[in-house]
Amino acid sequence: MENRKTKMPVGALIVCIMVIAFIAACITGIVLLITKGIKSARTPDMTEAPAGNTAVVTSEPTSIPSATADPLHHASAGTQATEDMDKIDIIARCMETVVSIDITMTQGSSDVYAGSGSGVLITSDGYIVTCNHVVEGSANIYVYLNDGSQYTAELIGNDPVTDIAVIKLNASGEEFPCATLGVSEGLRVGETVYAIGNALGTLSNTVTDGIISGLDRDIEIDGQSMTLLQTSAAINSGNSGGALFLHDGTLIGVVNAKTSGTTSTGATIEGLGFAVPIDLAKPIITDIMTYGYVTGRPYLGVSTKNVSYGYGMFSYTTYPQVVTVVEGSPAAKAGVRENDIIVKINGETVSSSTALRVRINSFSVGDVITLTILRGNSTIELTVKLEERSSR
């Protein structure tokens, strides 16, 4: 049998060789491209750096990291997100305990809107701490919770000396979220705080943050000297009575004042907010909740309003005029009557109801004082022995 060998034509052989060479070239190019891509995504190509610049390239990136390398910056963003969520959760819990307050006052035979403020729920059955100046003189108190529910409230008691008042929601059998009272002693300047309140009387539960800017600041407000916390958190009208929370969510102050405008030298005042330290407020709150007033304070027993009256060489000067006299009070025992105008205490002029209150609070229980009073066209002097208040 004859063996035959199949021979490939020369032309076909050449074509095969060219195809194989082309495929090999393509594969080589792809490998080189992938290799270069991997190298540029990870580290700078040291071999491409100019001579003598190796150290510079190694220590300093020449551009912002590629977005394709870590488009969402997972490591850093994840850590920051956790910190932000912790902060957001704490603020959310704090906001549930802060309320907005509107008050009305009696004008003639009608009740008219008289102002707005803030407050903080401190017990689950609806006791709220706020500022005295928010609710003082109110005929009706309306409270709005963070969840949108509305209540009327009763004034339990107030203390002009510390500017603290306690009110209670008119609600029975309901439970409310309440703040955790913290400790203001030991606070350090620089600690983060959150102020929450009814900014401008319309922006309920506005949150601002800042730091503790100062401790034990002696501030005079309406003639009354107070020792307050200072904060850089933005404080606006309507924030009074609201909360100053520490970064851990505990209540460490009751916001009561802000300073704005310019000084006598023309300097602009910015970022000065103040709050009653919670350690100072706690015993006041306890006394008011227990007795309806603060124990150990000198008590005169009158309510007054400001009037302009001509007295001596000073015409139409403002003085406090007695509106009511509490039965059995030191004032009643001394013979003070409604419509009496109190012009002096121990020979010193008293220019307003606030000045009268501040002056009385400067004495002690048991002190004997002399009131100079205008009654009709007569000037009389009455001796009053100040006592501790015994009832609401």
User: What positions carry a catalytic annotation?
Assistant: 133, 163, 240
CA dist 374 and 372 (Å) reads 7
Q: How many CA atoms lie within 13 A of 350 on its CB side?
A: 29
Q: Which of 357, 355, 381, 378 is nearest to 369 (CA)?
A: 381
| Tokens 């009305």, residue located | 104
The dihedral of CA 151, 152, 155, 156: what is its sign? negative
Q: Phi first, then psi: give them for residue 111, nearest 5 degrees.
A: -100, 130
Q: Which residues contact 356 (CB under 8 A, 6 or more apart)?
A: 304, 320, 342, 345, 350
Q: Say whether 5 sits in a helix, a strand or coil.
A: coil
The token duo for 5 is: 């060998």
Q: Which residues pair with 211 in a beta bridge?
A: 192
Q: Which residues contact 223 (CB under 8 A, 6 or more apart)?
A: 354, 355, 358
Q: Phi first, then psi: give them for residue 47, nearest 5 degrees.
A: -70, -15
The dihedral of CA 315, 318, 322, 323: what is its sign? positive
Do residues 102 and 109 make contact, with C-beta atoms less than 8 angstroms apart? no
Burial class (CB in 10 A: 0-12, 13-18, 19+), 360: buried
CA dist 136 and 222 (Å) reads 14
Q: How far apart are the first and last CA of the chain?
A: 135
**C-alpha dihedral, 220 to 226 to 230 to 236, nearest 10°:** -60
